[in-house]
Amino acid sequence: MELNYTTNLYQEQQQKQELAMTPKLQQAIKLLQYSTLELQEFIEDKMMENPLLELDDNYDPQSNNYIKQNGDDFNYEKFVAQELTLEEHLLKQLSLVTTSKLEKKIGEQIIGNLDQSGFFSSLEEVINQLEVTRKEVNKVLAKIKQFDPAGIGARDIQESLLIQLDNLKTSDNNTQIGLAKQIINGYQAELNNNQVRKISQGLSIEPKVTQQLIDLIKSLSPIPADRFKKKANNIYIEPDIIIKQISGKYVIIMDQASFPTIHINSYYRNLLKKQNAAKQSKDYIEDKLKSAMWLIKSIEQRRQTVYNIVRAIINLQQDFLKRGIKYLKPMTMQQIADEIKMHESTVSRATSNKYIQTPQGLFPMKFLFSKAIKTGDQKVSAVSIKKEVEDLVANEDKNNPLSDRELKDKLEARGVTISRRTIAKYRTELKIPSSRKRKRYD
């Protein structure tokens, strides 16, 4: 159902530069760009200060409808709590490999001195702290280096890879492991730059064999502690806004946690109506009522502003919503601002720290804005060109990868005129290596 709130608080406040920047105005501007978490914390603080404020009965900022749909009894917090930290994982293994109190003490000290990558470079420190010999520390360290995750306790990436290769060694692959270790020990620069022919010449082997060895090395984990790190891409992102197609029309769904409904507590509202209420109590309630009404108005304006922006995006980006990223049209914040009759800075703030779920996937709202690239008689978005480049590289012959010039020529054949320098820039932004580094020798 479309929202009907029509106040122009932000537009009026921002168009008048001479307007004093009052604390309430500053807060209204901040409120517009708050993320869901920031808004929840802000509302909780305001509710502590103001007893008149009350959230909608159905509001639950901790609910996660999307996870529940995929598994009714799945408790994400409980699942995370059961995971062991790297230190706990290693200490558990230590208790299984030794009963010696001294070795356990040394092992605990070594584990406690691992850096965030899982490397150990504090040998002298452990020797001095525990007043033990180098031989005693090295004996325990050797055991820890055999623990899971592979490569733990190594001095650096190079040793970590060598340890992992040793763990893979069998009577059948002894020669292969030996060659892979030679590459790690003597051809680091060549390995990093994908100089397969140079490595092949140095080791007197065929490029095809070198490629297989490089693939083996790349299958290893250079940072032992990686899987124990909390990575951003493992965090579930719940969208603030959802665009859903229903009966051929795009409907906007505003997430409850991102856009909560607040109202005035009925007890205090009724108290104001009572004739016999003490004047001091009435004055207090009226003061809190003004603050509460301002907050309700600001939050509703935030909701309406974001809604209007999304509605304008839908009107402009029909092809993207139906067909995918390659069809995302150039779109600026000024363009949307003109469409909804607000200032560009309002659009910028309202789209900050917010995610939108579309029929084509989940995106930060800012992702949808892209400058126009003129190609012949038409204009396309930088995002759509990047997608074209990404697709061309994904489908190229890996033994004969496309150079930037060849990518340029293929895009021109599709009607997109763009410089080779811009291709190189987009490729770098997409974290796609150069054709020389992408080349394989299968």
Domain range for 408 is 371-438
Tokens, residue 163 = 């340890």
**Per-residue model confidence as pLDDT tens digits over 38-89:** 999 999 999 999 988 988 755 555 544 333 333 334 343 333 334 688 999 9
pLDDT for 256: 86
| In a domain? residue 41 | yes
Residues 143 and 220 reside in one and the same domain: yes
User: Are residues 354 and 379 located together in one domain of the fold?
Assistant: no
Q: Do 263 and 331 belong to one domain?
A: yes
Between CA 206 and CA 182 the distance in angstroms is: 15
**Nearest residue to 94 via CA among 146, 133, 162, 59:** 146
Instruction: Please say whether the beta carbons of 358 and 253 come within 8 A.
Output: no
Which pLDDT belongs to residue 13? Answer: 47
pLDDT of residue 90: 95
**Is the same domain home to 19 and 36?**
yes
For residue 276, the model assigns a pLDDT of 62
Which residue among 219, 235, 251 closes a domain?
A: 235
Residues 241 and 359 in one domain: yes
Q: Looking at the structure, tell me whether residues 205 and 340 fall in a common domain.
A: no
> Strand (E) positions, 221-335?
241-246, 249-254, 262-264
Q: Report pLDDT for 94.
A: 94
Q: What is the pLDDT along the chain (442 residues), one digit of tens a residue?
A: 344 333 344 444 444 444 455 777 777 788 898 988 899 999 999 999 998 898 875 555 554 433 333 333 434 333 333 468 899 999 999 999 988 999 999 999 999 999 999 999 999 999 999 999 999 999 999 999 999 999 999 999 999 999 999 988 887 888 999 999 999 999 999 999 999 999 999 999 999 999 999 999 999 999 999 988 754 345 568 899 999 999 999 999 999 888 898 888 888 777 766 666 666 677 888 888 888 999 999 999 999 999 999 999 999 999 999 999 999 999 999 999 999 999 999 999 999 999 999 999 999 999 999 888 877 667 888 899 999 999 999 999 999 999 999 999 999 988 888 899 999 999 999 999 999 999 999 8
Domains contained in the chain, number: 3
Q: What is the pLDDT of residue 23?
A: 73
211: its two tokens: 């490629």
Instruction: Say whether both 187 and 220 belong to one domain.
Output: yes
Residue labelled with tokens 């990686």: 226
Predicted confidence at residue 63, as pLDDT, reads: 45
Residue where a domain terminates, one of 217, 235, 253? 235
What is the model's pLDDT at position 64?
40
Domain presence at residue 76: no
Does the predicted model carry a pTM greater than 0.75? no
Encoded tokens for 99: 């009963």
Quickly list DSSP for 98-156: ---HHHHHHHHHHHHT--TTS----HHHHHHHHT--HHHHHHHHHHHTTSSSTTTT-SS
Domain boundary among 311, 342, 365: 365
